[in-house]
Amino acid sequence: MEQILLQHYSLTIQKQKKLDGYASINYQVTTDTGHQYVSKVYTQPEDFVLAAEESRILNAIQHKIPVEVPITIPNISGELLSQNPDGSLTRLLPYIEGMFIAEVAHTPELLFSLGQAMGKVNQALAAEHSDSIQARRLFWDLQYAYLNEPKMAYITPAADQNLVWYFFDQYQYVVRPQLPYLRHGLIHGDLNDWNILTQGNQVTAFIDFGDIAYTPLIHELAIALTYMMLGKENPFEVILPVIKGYQSVIPLLREEVELLPMLITTRLCVSVCNSAEAKANAADTEYILISEKPAWELLRYWISCNPVAITNLFLQAAGLETSDYETQKTETAHKRSLYLGKSLGLSYQQPIHLHSAAFQYMYDTAGNTYLDAYNNIPHVGHCHPKVSEAISRQVRLLNTNTRYLYDSLADYAEKLLAYFPPSLNKIFFVNSGSMASDLAIRMAHTYTQRRHNLVLEMGYHGNTITGIDISSYKFDGKGGKGQPDCISVLPLPNLFNGLFQTTTEYVTHARQLLEQLEAEGKKVSAFIAEPISGCGGQMPLAPGYLKALYAELHRRGIVTISDEVQTGFGRLGHWFWGFQMHEVVPDMVVLGKPMGNGHPIAAVVTTTAIADAFANGMEFFSSFGGNPVSTEAAKAVLEVLEEEQLQTHAKDTGDYFMAQLQSLQKTYPVLGDVRGSGLFLGIEFVKVGTHEPDTTLAARIKNQLKDQFILTGTDGRYDNVLKIKPPMCFNRKNADLFCAMLAKLLL
């Protein structure tokens, strides 16, 4: 080093200190006269041309910009780069004074000056051109962010990896197709907080142009904003002066600002992917890991933020008109009432006009984020990227029906049946829980050659004619015509405020009913029930009830059907299927809702004997049932459940949630009962000191929770039970928020 600097620059070095660097090895050097420089040594031939171009460009713009940049000091022969004996190149830069922006308070004035400086630099760079810079495919450059996607594999646990995938997915589908049409220019490309120098509340210099890129101009702002947001309590508000500063120099275009949020999340993803790779390779990690923790914090925080609100905040800062969905909402509501039947309900006194959703959050068009404690259909999370990817991949490849051979159907059937006891080994695919329960009843009829069915009070199993016939919730509810002749109803074995106080009484009652039906010559074909009654108010069937009842039913050749539409797929935490909590094995299982995470796939799982009896010559065919797009979606759901260990997560979160609710119960006696398992919980509201329902209070709490941006619903015979059945990624923090809000509303 000393020799090179002496030979090429006539400088005598007294002190040298290694600095962080990426493409080059950097030293801070002090000469005998006390002058300071930065010397950069480039060892890779592919960096030589770029270093020369960077030097040429910076030297060209230095006088056109209000900030200092590391111009290259020519050697004694007037060359910008000096050849070293080992073939490497040295480049000498002035040492620029100042405090890094990372080390000072981020006042609005400072951040405005950052935006302004960036704008001026981008403006000056617009006059420059470099073929070699333009040809480079740098993985930090946001137009090539997809080059980082394979590095997601280094991220653990899987839930974190899938969060990054969600944001990369938005990049691929929303951002990337638009990039070629945006304004391009040369940009610094890495204005992180250790590349920005300040003096006296003003940005005074940009250093390290090693990532200089020809790319959409907006990337400059996106990257700088990313780093300015890290570690901030109110990250979106904090950065607005940067946008305003930039905007004062280069007026931003609407299409640029609208992409800013996703460009920022993309940069965060690029950052965490490279941190994960560096850690896995045990590389010189300190420099690259600097932003890892705050980047993760910001990504996790980001999904709790409404994208409409973020975009509007940025649009406003850029002096552009914000998006207003109010007219659209009114129009949608109007069209809906015009074209759809009145029997379709809308939740809440003030319905929610949705924009989008991610994992356990739903975003409305007014800019609010709702914590979803209610929707169990998006089982592994709203818009989970693994499911989205599976669907979009398969729908482009092949979508057909079960009359043809394709691998996905058989593979998924094998994978799903592995979750069942060996006797349940045949599967029939359909497209809704209703179709599945309807089919189950039909199969039972074929198998038993009987017609009468036994159901539980408050049960709901579907919207077909048979579905309504077997759903006491419907035929005994509003608009219902009462119990059909072919149905007998057993009381819901509810030990909180049901007909009896003990399991034995419920079982005895059931046995008596069976005997009575026999005496009347009514031959019972099937018994259908949920292991925890959802419409019955998240009521777990009394312990021991199903075990004793199943024994009675099996003795009489009656087919037992467990409706796992709500309770299946690990939701209960302790058990993968609800029937396991009752230590029974049904003859048939009805599946739906969570099976495809919202993609319409449902199924009946049954025994060989029943499946064989059903093969009586009449073909069973469902146009959409078991199509490869559906089975790929469903396969992805199982894979996510496994890799994110969501059953264990549901148990852990559910146990924690339940304990919090139980402790609230001590303070608020209106919480008559809290019950359920895993992430399938219910809170029953009662009049203090009694088990009498308080329907009004339950409705108030449901609507007020919604006003506080937490989604739940009510159900039960008296509609006084708050139902909690969120996407399975719902976590302890979410449970804390729920409980804190509930307590506040009960005060």
Q: Which member of 463, 622, 648, 708 binds ligand PMP (CB under 6 A)?
A: 463
Q: Which member of 307, 534, 573, 678 binds ligand PMP (CB under 6 A)?
A: 534
* Distance between CA atoms of residues 305 and 362, nearest Å: 9
Q: Would you count residue 622 as binding ligand PMP (CB under 6 A)?
A: no
* Bridge partner residues of 604 (DSSP): 428, 590
Q: Which is nearer to ligand PMP, 437 or 627 (CB)?
A: 437
Query: How many residues are listed for the chain in this entry?
Result: 747
Q: Which is nearer to ligand PMP, 376 or 497 (CB)?
A: 376
Q: Would you count residue 347 as binding ligand PMP (CB under 6 A)?
A: no
* Distance between CA atoms of residues 725 and 739, nearest Å: 15
Q: Which is nearer to ligand PMP, 105 or 344 (CB)?
A: 344
Q: Which is nearer to ligand PMP, 305 or 565 (CB)?
A: 565
State the minimum distance, in angstroms, from the CB of residue 436 to ligand PMP.
7
Q: Which stretch binds ligand PMP (CB under 6 A): 28-36, 168-176, 563-571, 664-672?
A: 563-571
User: Which tokens hold the place of 269?
Assistant: 């993803």
State the minimum distance, in angstroms, from the CB of residue 528 to ligand PMP.
9
Neighbours of 388 (CB within 10 A): 18
State the minimum distance, in angstroms, from the CB of residue 658 to ligand PMP.
21
Of 113-132, binders to ligand PMP (CB under 6 A) are none
Asked if 120 and 65 touch (Cβ cutoff 8 Å), the reply is yes
* Distance between CA atoms of residues 260 and 264, nearest Å: 6
Asked if 457 and 492 touch (Cβ cutoff 8 Å), the reply is yes
State how far the alpha carbon of 382 is from the alpha carbons of 98, 306, 388, 433, 601, in Å. 46, 14, 10, 19, 16
Total residues interacting with ligand PMP, rule: CB under 6 A: 14
Q: Which member of 241, 385, 462, 570 binds ligand PMP (CB under 6 A)?
A: 462
Q: Which member of 365, 402, 566, 714 binds ligand PMP (CB under 6 A)?
A: 566
State the minimum distance, in angstroms, from the CB of residue 371 to ligand PMP.
21
Q: Which member of 151, 386, 445, 461 binds ligand PMP (CB under 6 A)?
A: 461
Question: Which of 462, 534, 457, 543 has the alpha carbon at shortest distance from 504?
Answer: 543
Neighbours of 178 (CB within 10 A): 14
Q: What is the DSSP string of 138-189?
A: -TTSGGGGGGGGGGGGG--SHHHHHHHHHHHHHIIIIIGGGGGGS-EEEE--
Q: Would you count residue 434 as binding ligand PMP (CB under 6 A)?
A: yes
Q: Which is nearer to ligand PMP, 186 or 565 (CB)?
A: 565
User: Which tokens hold the place of 171?
Assistant: 């990049």
Of 467-496, binders to ligand PMP (CB under 6 A) are none
Q: Which member of 37, 209, 236, 460 binds ligand PMP (CB under 6 A)?
A: 460
400 CB-side CA count, 13 A: 10
State the minimum distance, in angstroms, from the CB of residue 724 to ligand PMP.
15
Q: Would you count residue 568 as binding ligand PMP (CB under 6 A)?
A: no
* Distance between CA atoms of residues 279 and 732, nearest Å: 28
Residue 23 — left, alpha, or beta (φ > 0 → left; ψ -120 to 50 → alpha)? alpha
* Distance between CA atoms of residues 123 and 139, nearest Å: 24
Q: Which residue is listed with tokens 């997915």?
A: 169
Comparing every residue's Cβ against ligand PMP, the nearest one is 433
SS3 of 372, please? strand
Q: Which is nearer to ligand PMP, 47 or 563 (CB)?
A: 563
Q: Would you count residue 716 as binding ligand PMP (CB under 6 A)?
A: no
Question: Which of 675, 738, 658, 673 has the alpha carbon at shortest distance from 538?
Answer: 675
Q: Would you count residue 562 as binding ligand PMP (CB under 6 A)?
A: no
Q: Would you count residue 375 as binding ligand PMP (CB under 6 A)?
A: no
* Distance between CA atoms of residues 578 and 402, nearest Å: 29
State the minimum distance, in angstroms, from the CB of residue 346 to ligand PMP.
16
Q: Would you count residue 91 as binding ligand PMP (CB under 6 A)?
A: no
Segment (H or E) for 114: helix 108-125
Q: Would you count residue 715 as binding ligand PMP (CB under 6 A)?
A: no
Q: Which is nearer to ligand PMP, 462 or 672 (CB)?
A: 462
* Distance between CA atoms of residues 69 and 98, nearest Å: 12
Q: Which is nearer to ligand PMP, 358 or 535 (CB)?
A: 535
Q: Which stretch binds ligand PMP (CB under 6 A): 163-171, 356-364, 428-436, 440-448?
A: 428-436
Footprint of ligand PMP on this chain (CB under 6 A)? 432-434, 437, 460-463, 530, 534, 563, 565-566, 592
